[in-house]
Chains A and B, each alone.
Chain A
Amino acid sequence: EIVLTQSPATLSLSPGERATLSCRASQSVSSYLAWYQQKPGQTPRLLIYDASIRATGIPARFSGSGSGTDFTLTISSLEPEDFAVYYCQQRNDWPLTFGGGTKVEIK
């Protein structure tokens, strides 16, 4: 099973700041990595797939990069609605796995 490790567990930032979230895979997942946002009490929302492709309707301030084992989700300038938990997910191999999540909270 491919283990995804997200860091940091919590990121405390202010609106307008840049957020950089990391996801590291225990073995290569090529570019088959996705990112999701989940707000309290809400359904997860797909942000990025195939490491760097923004899903439909996702603002340009969200960007993804990386390949192999190291991936990054960047939010260029945090908006109030961006404070949430973010998960990465790989599909390079079964079982599909998610990372443990990074919570982006207001500083």
Chain B
Amino acid sequence: EMQVVDSGGGLVQAGGSLRLSCAASGFLFSSYAMSWVRQAPGKGLEWVSTVSGNGGGAFYADSVKGRFTISRDNSKNTVDLHINSLRVDDTAVYYCAKMVGFRCFDDWGQGTLVTVSS
């Protein structure tokens, strides 16, 4: 059974840093791009970042470029999102998601809440 489990959220002050982690199982991890998608309270979905299957390609939303870094460890089946210079508007539930090609997100973690206080 395919499973994606994300973790690492918490309450952080503006300007702080956080590392979100995602552990995957049940599929050939290195064959799939992985992404982070976030959802602010009461709002819609926003794509944040994607890393290719071999880790050689990384893509970012303009709103997080330069502050967020995505990485993966295919030996451990994990994906991390390093978040720096946190802002209040980064407050959201962050979902780790497996991608079908680079087309869509077919398996999602349960989400981890990041709350940024001023």
Contacts and interface: CB of A to CB of B under 8 A. Distances in A.
Contacts of A95: 47, 59-62
Interface string A82-96: 000001010100111
A34 interface: yes
Interface residues of A, number: 24
Interface of A: 1, 32, 34, 36, 38, 43-46, 49-50, 55-56, 87, 89, 91, 94-101
Given A50-B103, A101-B45, 18 more contacts: A1-B62, A32-B103, A34-B103, A34-B104, A34-B105, A36-B105, A43-B111, A44-B45, A44-B108, A49-B104, A55-B106, A56-B106, A89-B47, A89-B105, A96-B47, A98-B46, A98-B47, A99-B44
B59 A43 contact: no
Nearest to B110: A43
A36 B62 contact: no
A92 B47 CA distance: 14
B44 A44 contact: no
B95 A43 contact: yes
Contacts of B78: none
7 contacts: A44-B45, A44-B105, A46-B106, A56-B106, A95-B60, A98-B47, A100-B44
Q: Please name the 7 residue pairs, one residue from A and one from B, whose CB atoms are nearest each other, closest first.
A: A34-B104, A96-B47, A49-B104, A43-B108, A98-B45, A46-B106, A101-B44
A98 to B, nearest CB: 4
A43 B109 contact: yes
B102 interface: yes
Interface string B83-107: 0000000000001000010111110
Contacts of B110: 43
A101 B43 CA distance: 9
